Amino acid sequence: MGRYDFRPLRVHQTASQLLAAERIRHVPSWHEVIGTIPPAQTLVRTQPLQHQERSRRQRTTKPSKLFQPQRVVYEEDSLRKDFFGDHPWELARPRVVLENDGRDAERKDWSLVSQPDRPIDGERSVLVPAHMVMPLTGKSVVQRQMFLLHGNPGKGHTPDPNMTPGKAYDQARKEFYEMRLQQDIERRIAREEAMATGAYFGKTTLQIGMEMEDKIFEEWKAWASAQVTLQEQRRAAMYTGVDNETAALPEGEQEDESALGEVDSSIPAQGQEALGGAATRP
């Protein structure tokens, strides 16, 4: 037949010839269908059009930035980044981020870091309305620094022309340290007064952490001592001529092993006949 098989294309022709020669008595059900709709004459299947992926480097025109959103940048972002970069543990302090309209800081007088309506201890916080409470955080330092750089013309505060971002940061940071120190002293005094009246305080997080570290250290110390003892025993067994397997056996089994070693030379090997045996006594 050659390379290609054309018999599937000649099915209708072959069936017609067999019917004409009366070699087939019944007309197949597909005979008329194939005669009306003959099979395709193309023997090679055409491949579909493949989409070529264009590389990004072949882009000739630069995309337009008309529909790209612009980057929103505030001056406070860089100041906040500098402060929390120098004081990362301030981020660990819990704080409430809920605000009324997002502009609470604009209603404060940032001529000082300590706000008049900011609660310092528990007694004074009762007299302050809840919507006016603003705790001392890194935001206070940023707003104080912005006040030193630009002032508040609406309230009659003009900035110092010789003020630089570095000087403003140092001044706001020192005022922040003083307020933090004042808070620590007040908390310490309140704790001492409570303990003097019979109050009891549990362990601090530092004490709990130290106890956990001590527990892990003791466990490691016991494990290290056991490892050192095992290495010393192995080293001693190496220099005394006792192998590790014998050294690991109990005393009774070690004696049996030594006795078998003495008689081992007189026992014939496998495949040899015993000549006389070893003179042993019970």
What's the pTM? 0.48
The per-residue pLDDT for range 85-100, each reduced to its tens digit, is 999 988 888 877 776 6
Distances (CA, A) of 123 to 126, 127, 178, 190: 6, 8, 20, 11
The per-residue pLDDT for range 236-253, each reduced to its tens digit, is 888 765 555 555 555 556
Distances (CA, A) of 158 to 18, 108, 139, 149: 113, 16, 21, 9
- So what's the pLDDT on residue 217? 96
Q: Which residue has the higher pLDDT, 238 or 77?
A: 77
105/146 Cα distance (integer angstroms): 11
- So what's the pLDDT on residue 255? 63
User: 269 CB contacts (<8 Å, ≥6 apart)?
Assistant: none
230's tokens: 């095992």
Q: State the residue for tokens 């007189």.
A: 266
The per-residue pLDDT for range 141-193, each reduced to its tens digit, is 898 898 898 887 777 778 888 889 899 999 999 999 998 999 899 989 998 99
Arithmetic mean of pLDDT, 57-81: 79
Q: Is a pLDDT exceeding 90 seen at residue 138?
A: no
Q: Which of the four pLDDT bands, split at 50, 70 and 90, describes residue 120?
A: very low
Q: Backbone phi, then psi, for 54, in 5-degree steps? A: -85, 135
